Amino acid sequence: MQKEVSRAIKGTWILTIASLFSELLSAIYRIPLQNIVGDRGYFIYQQVYPIYGIFSVLALSGLPVVISKTFAQQDSVAAKNSLLKRTFGILFLGCGVATILLWMSSKYLALMMGDINLYPEVRVVALTFLLVPFEASLRGYFQSDLIMEPSAISQVSEQFLRIVIIIFSAVMFGKGFLNVYQMGTLANSGAFIGGLLAVAILVIKYVRNRPDDSKNDSSKIKLEHGLLLEIILIVVFTGITIFYQFIDSFSMLRLLLHAGLSLDVAEVQKGVFDRGQPLLQLGIVLSLSFVSTIMPQLKETNHLERNKNTIQKMVRVCLWLSVAETAGLIALMPEINTMLFTNVNGSRTLSIYMLSILIVSFINLLVAITSGDDEKNVHKLILFGMSLVTKIALNIILIPKFGIAGGAMATILSECVILFGILAIYNFDRKFLALDKKFISNLIKTGVIMAIIVKIVVKFLAMYMIMNRGNCILVNLIAIPIGAIIYLKLSKRWHMLTKQEWEILPMGKYIIKFMKIED
């Protein structure tokens, strides 16, 4: 059992580090992209990003997570291989239809987004859906055995090649070889080209390490009741932020225009709003990696009994980390905004937006742990639908009044519909998550105190320097370690994590030594 726990923790951090590195690359490339093409060019690129985001959910997180659980439930290698073939066939058919529909409706979608010239970008992104069957099925296959390396390597390789193409397109635009729409199309083609590399890596890994099933006659596939509903649930909720971004792509520009902004100004404002996406994605990587490791461990039962202790530890550590991320980003937002995007435009909006990290992380954990509860999964999907309707309604109400900050507020409030709705479904019972009132209270206090002290440090430093990009980098390098130490010290003082939970953290043993943490 201890060996299984160690594999689970190791698998979590392999995938987490790979995902963090990928998202770090994703955040970094936006700096030269936005600097070269400007906020309007950034808007042109980002406007179709939610379509790529849906592909990313299907290929990287949502589908592999739930498929891995189904693979883990099989009794034999032959059954797993048989399930792999069937899964691939179903996905290929569904994704092929999706690609054709997106391609044929590209001009209509571009028109709904506010600019018909975006249709070539929609078409090139549509091609990525042809790669989903390969990526989702093989990643799920490997992750079912807690083998995270193929998923990690393919993910980083895919992202790296994609970013190379994006930067190349920005440079070509900067030199005048491409117009803004050609730049956007070439940049978005990086998703398909990078995806091809990921598929090649996964296929080679599978062919080289494919287990021999000839000695096993049992190829009967085990499928649990309510599997389709569970798949929809996990895919929908791991990609929840993408659906909100999708709504923003179709509504924000029109609402800003309706509020009296000119087209150029509205496009720039939407580009500023989109600065928050890489930071948000970077923040929720942790929870998605924990979810990816938790799901295969639910193979024996959907009532958490066999691995309840391990899962509860992961939930507490994941929320502890999510609070640290959220509080830190909000405290440093003007400086992080300037460091990444040269100015403070939209800092208030981005600060509001960062609350999504904590809310979405909690939602992901709740949904993953209770995904086998067939009776209440329908209720969760209804909550998801209600949140989307809430997002649309709040966008209409808040964006004309508060601009892009209204869009951020609409997202946060819509996420709360799901969070509190799920908690209400389970009568706000915290026992199955091992989240007592003391832990929650101390978690909030720790995050707030750390954020306040970091803010004071930043204000003090700002008295002696002009807050340009270079100085903001220096301020962040000073403030982040101070914030981390404060967060660790307060967590130790209030006994927020057990020694075993500290060990789950990367370099946990060194942190225990450094902090002199005892049982």
pLDDT tens by residue, 410-428: 999 999 999 999 888 887 7
Can you tell me the mean pLDDT for 318-342?
Answer: 89
| Residue-level pLDDT at 478 | 94
- Structure token digits, residue 338: 């300037």
H/E element, 419 = helix 404-425
Instruction: Quote the CA–CA distance of 37 and 342 in Å, as a whole number.
Output: 13
Per the document, the length of the chain is 519
Q: pLDDT tens digit string along 444-488?
A: 999 999 999 999 999 999 998 888 888 999 999 999 999 999 999
Neighbours of 300 (CB within 10 A): 12
Instruction: Quote the CA–CA distance of 16 and 180 in Å, as a whole number.
Output: 34
Percent of the chain's residues with pLDDT above 90: 32
Nearest to 142 by CA among 28, 292, 20: 292
The pTM score is: 0.79
Read off φ and ψ for residue 147, nearest 5 degrees.
-95, 100
Q: How would residue 275 be classed by pLDDT, with cut points 50, 70 and 90? A: confident
Which amino acid, residue 324?
A
- Structure token digits, residue 472: 């903001």
| Residue-level pLDDT at 388 | 95
Can you tell me the mean pLDDT for 300-308?
Answer: 52
Q: Which of 8-22, 109-123, 161-175, 426-440 has the lowest mean pLDDT?
A: 8-22
Instruction: Quote the CA–CA distance of 519 and 516 in Å, as a whole number.
Output: 10
Please provide the average confidence, as pLDDT, over all residues in the chain. Answer: 83
Can you tell me the mean pLDDT for 358-374?
Answer: 81
Instruction: Quote the CA–CA distance of 437 and 181 in Å, as a whole number.
Output: 52
- Structure token digits, residue 460: 């003090």
- Structure token digits, residue 61: 């997180």
Residues 46 and 271 sit within 8 Å (Cβ to Cβ) = yes
| Residue-level pLDDT at 411 | 96
Residues 6+ apart with CB under 8 A from 131: 55, 59, 192, 195, 196, 198, 199
| Residue-level pLDDT at 293 | 60
Q: pLDDT tens digit string along 3-22?
A: 555 555 555 566 667 766 77
Q: Which of 108-122, 204-218, 415-429 has the lowest mean pLDDT?
A: 204-218
- Structure token digits, residue 449: 């105190």
Residues 454 and 332 sit within 8 Å (Cβ to Cβ) = yes
Can you tell me the mean pLDDT for 345-366?
Answer: 91
| Residue-level pLDDT at 61 | 67
- In this model, does residue 84 exceed pLDDT 90? no
Can you tell me the mean pLDDT for 394-398?
Answer: 96
Can you tell me the mean pLDDT for 72-85?
Answer: 80
- In this model, does residue 37 exceed pLDDT 90? no
Q: How would residue 55 be classed by pLDDT, with cut points 50, 70 and 90? A: confident
Report the number of secondary-structure helices (H) and strands (E) in the chain.
23, 0
CA 177, 180, 184: angle at the middle one, nearest 5? 105
- Which residue is listed with tokens 């999706």? 98
Neighbours of 230 (CB within 10 A): 22
- Structure token digits, residue 463: 């008295």
| Residue-level pLDDT at 512 | 82
Q: How would residue 300 be classed by pLDDT, with cut points 50, 70 and 90? A: very low
Can you tell me the mean pLDDT for 344-364?
Answer: 92
Q: Which of 5-14, 142-151, 152-161, 499-508 has the lowest mean pLDDT?
A: 5-14
Residues 6+ apart with CB under 8 A from 74: 80, 83, 221, 222
384-404: b or e for each residue (b if 16 or more CB lie within 10 Å)? beebbebbbebbeebbbebbb
| Residue-level pLDDT at 34 | 76
Instruction: Quote the CA–CA distance of 128 and 394 in Å, as a whole number.
Output: 32
Rounded alpha-carbon distances, angstroms, from residue 23 to 20, 176, 229, 283, 505: 5, 29, 29, 9, 19
- In this model, does residue 292 exceed pLDDT 70? no
Can you tell me the mean pLDDT for 163-189?
Answer: 90
Q: Which of 71-85, 221-235, 259-273, 410-424 has the lowest mean pLDDT?
A: 221-235
| Residue-level pLDDT at 13 | 60
Can you tell me the mean pLDDT for 152-169?
Answer: 89
Can you tell me the mean pLDDT for 103-116?
Answer: 88
Q: How would residue 168 be classed by pLDDT, with cut points 50, 70 and 90? A: very high
Residues 316 and 434 sit within 8 Å (Cβ to Cβ) = yes
| Residue-level pLDDT at 451 | 95
Instruction: Quote the CA–CA distance of 22 and 70 in Å, as a whole number.
Output: 26
Residues 59 and 136 sit within 8 Å (Cβ to Cβ) = yes
Tell me the HSE value of 188 on the side-chain side, using a 13 A CA sphere.
31
Instruction: Quote the CA–CA distance of 56 and 54 in Å, as a whole number.
Output: 5
Which amino acid, residue 217?
D
Q: pLDDT tens digit string along 238-272?
A: 778 888 988 998 899 889 999 999 888 988 898 88
| Residue-level pLDDT at 279 | 84
Instruction: Quote the CA–CA distance of 452 and 464 in Å, as a whole number.
Output: 19
| Residue-level pLDDT at 433 | 64
Can you tell me the mean pLDDT for 437-442?
Answer: 88
Instruction: Quote the CA–CA distance of 457 and 464 in Å, as a whole number.
Output: 12
Residues 340 and 275 sit within 8 Å (Cβ to Cβ) = yes
